[in-house]
Amino acid sequence: MDDILNGSVVSMAAAIRQGDVSSVELTNAFIGRIEAVNPKLNALVMPTFDLARKYAKRADQDLAKGDIHGVLHGVPMTMKDSLDTLDAVTTWGTLGRKDFRPGADATAVARLRNEGAVLLGKTNTPEFTLSFKTDNLVYGPTRNPHDLERTPGGSSGGAAALIAAGATPFDLGTDTGGSIRLPSHFSGIAGIKPTSGRVPCTGNALPISGLTARVSQVGPMARYVSDLALLLDIIAGPDNQDPYCISAQTGDFNDVEVGSLRIAWHADNGICTPEPAIASAVESARDLLIDAGVPVEEARPSGLEMSHLIASRVFNADDGLQVENLLADARTENPSPLLGVRPKDLPESSARDVATVMNVWDNYRSSMLSFFDDFDVLICPVNATTALPLDAPIDFSAFSYTMAYNMTGWPGTVIRADTDGNHLPVGIQIVAAPFREDHSLAVAQWLETALGVFDPPAISAW
């Protein structure tokens, strides 16, 4: 059973269809793992175990009759608590919704269920997803399975922690400034932020309107790159609700010849110098490619150094209106201390200021796109640090490695590439041109294979 539990989502689905394991057996096994690790992690905050067993039993009964629900038939999953679920309380991490049942699934959740996935429960998120740490006044903090005194990152930290601990096969994250990629890096798993507009954000805590709608994306988180590709293919495409989601061709990463790609790398973005172990991980990935005869060149996109300044202006251009509306709609009177607060040194925005921000933002996106005249893929750090202590302050410049590509909308895959001196995971980010997730995933898959298997968290030492 452990071989199946520790395998890929692809192999779990195959094992169920072939009769090697039942959905009920797999579901109960993951519930057992959750019950073993979650008291220390606080990653799963709303279990749906009884419903999961019911749906798993139905999946087994239907399979016996030859009725296969989809490519995920009977495979368990968890779901970030910022994404609505029909049959489970969805709080978005805010007190006003602590008992709220949405009555409908988020679009991406519904698509996974339509393919046969079985929901085990909801994973923790900061209030409205607006923090790089996972903590809120409803459920409290989530801890990193590699070091319980550190955060798994945010905002998809509950998902990342549970996947890293081997207690769920996959989850969906949301990424507005790095909220899929950062927790993947901090927790040592795989995750992808798709191109902006690839996956509908309908049913997520942040609305599908306003400035953040242009930078937010739903994307899969798992232990293997092949699973990211499978899950992305399921959730992508318009739902005729999210106005930013478009129909775009999806390439198969298996068809990409990595040796034919023009690959760039850098270990420092010119904004915040990373820790030595992080720079070393990028350089090691570079060396693996070079040793295999793949040409790699050091380069940074033109305009990258402006990303931190532009992001700070974009996220504060509405003078906090979006947060005020979210709190009002949720009827939350007591917001979390981690909820994003507008910096005091920024003047109040005028209509002219907002127009200027939008103009500068578009010019930045245009300047950055010229990078793809010369390259197809960029390998770089995910963050300037590894997992932070729970009470450590946040230096937003360290997060510019992810926010830069929310500002452009480019896709980025994160995989684990090393371990630092504190025995913490080190991830690397593989960025590609808009709607070329196949390029990003192909390089990530190549490197995942070349780097080999990393030790999981030492749960027995907790």
Give the integer Cα–Cα distance in Å for 74 and 453.
27
**Any catalytic annotation for residue 179?**
yes
Q: Which two tokens stand for residue 431?
A: 């960025």
Four-CA torsion 185, 191, 196, 197, nearest 10 degrees: -160
Average pLDDT along the chain:
96
What average pLDDT does the segment 326-344 reach?
A: 83
Q: Which two tokens stand for residue 252?
A: 């198969």
What average pLDDT does the segment 119-126 reach?
A: 98
**For the ranges 321-325, 443-447, 457-461, the one whose mean pLDDT is highest:** 443-447
174-204 confidence digits (pLDDT tens): 999 999 999 999 999 999 999 999 999 999 9
What average pLDDT does the segment 400-413 reach?
A: 98
Q: Which two tokens stand for residue 279?
A: 């720079």
**Rg of the chain over CA atoms, in angstroms?**
21
User: Is the pLDDT reported for residue 301 higher than 70?
Assistant: yes
The catalytic position among 156, 179, 187, 400 is 179
For 266-326, list the strands marked E by DSSP: 296-298
Q: Which two tokens stand for residue 115?
A: 């393919």
The pLDDT, as a whole number, for residue 347 is 66
The packing angle between helices 307-315 and 351-369, to 10°, is: 140
Give the integer Cα–Cα distance in Å for 111 and 115.
7
Give the integer Cα–Cα distance in Å for 82 and 173.
9
Give the integer Cα–Cα distance in Å for 324 and 190.
33
The catalytic position among 23, 155, 226, 336 is 155
User: Is the pLDDT reported for residue 345 higher than 80?
Assistant: no
What average pLDDT does the segment 442-459 reach?
A: 96
User: Is the pLDDT reported for residue 342 higher than 60?
Assistant: no
Contact between residue 178 and residue 385 where contact means Cβ atoms under 8 Å apart: no
* CB-neighbour burial class of residue 461 (10 A; exposed 0-12, middle 13-18, buried 19+): exposed
The pLDDT, as a whole number, for residue 459 is 86
What average pLDDT does the segment 91-113 reach?
A: 98
The catalytic position among 8, 23, 80, 440 is 80
Contact between residue 106 and residue 75 where contact means Cβ atoms under 8 Å apart: no
Length of the chain equals: 462
pLDDT band for position 462 (50/70/90)?
confident
Share of the chain above pLDDT 90, in %: 92
Q: Which of 17-21, 225-229, 263-267, 458-462 is the least confident region?
A: 458-462
* CB-neighbour burial class of residue 106 (10 A; exposed 0-12, middle 13-18, buried 19+): buried
Contact between residue 298 and residue 413 where contact means Cβ atoms under 8 Å apart: no
The pLDDT, as a whole number, for residue 441 is 98
**Any catalytic annotation for residue 98?**
no
The pLDDT, as a whole number, for residue 114 is 98
Q: Which two tokens stand for residue 57?
A: 């039993």
What average pLDDT does the segment 52-74 reach?
A: 98
**Any catalytic annotation for residue 80?**
yes
Backbone φ and ψ of 219, nearest 5°: -155, 160
CATH of 2-461, one of 3.10.330.20, 3.90.1300.10, 3.40.228.10, 3.10.20.30: 3.90.1300.10
